[in-house]
Amino acid sequence: MWMILRGGLRRRWPEHLLAAVVIAAVVAGLGALRATSAAAEAEVHEVAHRLGRNMLLLPADVEPADFYAQRYRGGLQDSAPERIKASPAGPHVQMMEARLYGNLEVRGRPVIVVGQDLGWPSMPDGRVPAIAGAAAARALELQPGSTLELGGRRLAIMEVAEDPPDGLDTAIFMPVAASQDVLGRPGELSAIRLAGCWCRVDVQTLGTQIEAALPGSRAITVASVLKAQQGTVEVVRRYGTALHLLAAALVVALVASLAVAGARRRARELGLLAAIGVPPGRLGGLLVLESALVGFAGGLLGWLGAGPVVRWLVGAAADAAPAPSFALVLGAAALSAAAAAVPALRAAALDPAIALRETAA
């Protein structure tokens, strides 16, 4: 029977290829959906983890994921801390830390400039005190006591930080005013970290008050992140289930219609096989196996293709995405077999005498 199976697959290769490609696209799509939504969940968890009990204020058009991926853009005005203090939320804020972040290229190496007021010492020679992250120090050959010319300012490297905050290993830390000069963004801030005792106040309400005080800003709290995540996960789940059902229906419809058309075209061949002694069960099994193999091939193709699709959709975040489950491949094969079962068994049960006579030339 392998001869017949192989011959049948080879003879009808265009339609089998079409079915396999469609199934591959469906499986790759589902695999990519699962992987990207899992990657998105992981990213939100990471943001929530970093925020801890604090609140982060960002420009409204900056995504927290971009911010934590060190892709900096947009800005807040440096009057923002004063306006927060003066707002109804001000009394609840116990600590505010304004920062300016920016990406620069120094001697062909990417460097992050971080402006942050730490109570820097004043330098008698007019140089600006600065701390270099370990990777930045290695790349630019800096050590305590070195001087670095950056954006027209002379930076005195006070220290090399082996374990800088937020993993900013390639950063040069300096006062906010100096970073504004270096980056050419006077009067601008990238983010404000806020801390306080939030236990007597609803953190989300506080965030809303701060956003109202600073139009164009966005307050990110663990609560808001988690709430957004729950909403996103719920939507993804809901649409994901619908999408899975739709994909399954598409595969079933495609495979079943191909099985019906194939069985009709091969009626005489099936009649002949019955005449030379192939039992109906084996005939039906042959057609089902043929469809299952097409489903398996398509599923495998889609499974292999899902990784590149995820990478294309989410870029480097794909590294964190789990590999699509191989169950998708087995599912595609099983679904194809199930879809072909009824047409195959009906074709196999057809009276061979009728099949041979009706289709005779």
Partner 1 sequence: MIEVHEVSRTFPAPGGGVVKALDGVSLKIGQGEFVAVVGASGSGKSTLLFTIGGLSAPTGGRVAIDGRAVYEMDQGARAALRRTSVGFVFQTFNLVPYLTTLENVLLPSLLAGRSRAEAEAAAARLLERLGLGARRHHRPAQLSVGERQRAGIARSLVNAPGVILADEPTGNLDPEAASQVLALLRQFNDEGQTIVIVTHDLQLAEQARRVVRLRAGVVEEDRPSLGRRLAS
Q: Give the nearest distance from C-beta 285 to partner 1 in angstroms.
A: 13
CB-nearer residue toward partner 1: 197 or 353: 353
Q: Are 294 and 255 in contact (CB under 8 A)?
A: yes
Q: Is 14 an interacting residue with respect to partner 1 (CB under 8 A)?
A: no
CB-nearer residue toward partner 1: 7 or 216: 7
Residue 244, φ and ψ in degrees, nearest 5: -60, -45
With a CB cutoff of 8 Å and minimum separation 6, the contacts of 32 are 306, 309, 310, 313, 324
Q: Is 356 an interacting residue with respect to partner 1 (CB under 8 A)?
A: yes
CA distance 198 to 93: 8
User: Which residues inside 80-119 make contact with partner 1, applying CB under 8 A?
Assistant: none
Q: Give the nearest distance from C-beta 262 to partner 1 in angstroms.
A: 13
The 3-state secondary structure of 194-238 reads EEECHHHCCHHHHHHHHHHHCCCEEEEEHHHHHHHHHHHHHHHHH
CA distance 359 to 361: 6
CB-nearer residue toward partner 1: 251 or 274: 274
- Out of 42, 197, 323, 354, the only residue in the binding site for partner 1 (CB under 8 A) is 354
CA angle, corner 277, sides to 272 and 282, nearest 5?
90
Q: Give the nearest distance from C-beta 259 to partner 1 in angstroms.
A: 18
| β-bridge pairing 191-196 and 153-161 | unpaired
Q: Which of 357, 348, 200, 211 is nearest to 287 (CA)?
A: 348
Q: Is 17 an interacting residue with respect to partner 1 (CB under 8 A)?
A: no
CB-nearer residue toward partner 1: 102 or 352: 352
* Structure token pair of residue 130: 């600065």
From start to end of 202-327, where are the E strands?
A: 217-221
CB-nearer residue toward partner 1: 86 or 353: 353
Q: What track of x and - describes contact with partner 1 for positions 247 through 286 (by CB under 8 A)? A: ---------------------xx-xx-xxxxxxxx-----
Q: Is 43 an interacting residue with respect to partner 1 (CB under 8 A)?
A: no
Q: Are 222 and 52 in contact (CB under 8 A)?
A: yes
Q: Tokens 């968890």 correspond to what residue?
A: 45
- Name the amino acid, one letter, at 216: G
Q: What track of x and - describes contact with partner 1 for positions 179 through 218 (by CB under 8 A)? A: ----------------------------------------
Question: How many C-beta atoms lie closer than 10 Å to residue 267's C-beta?
Answer: 18
Q: Give the nearest distance from C-beta 261 to partner 1 in angstroms.
A: 17
Q: Is 346 an interacting residue with respect to partner 1 (CB under 8 A)?
A: no
Q: Is 7 an interacting residue with respect to partner 1 (CB under 8 A)?
A: yes
The count of residues interacting with partner 1 (CB under 8 A) is 27
Interface residues toward partner 1, by CB under 8 A: 1, 3-4, 7-8, 10-11, 268-269, 271-272, 274-281, 351-354, 356-357, 360-361
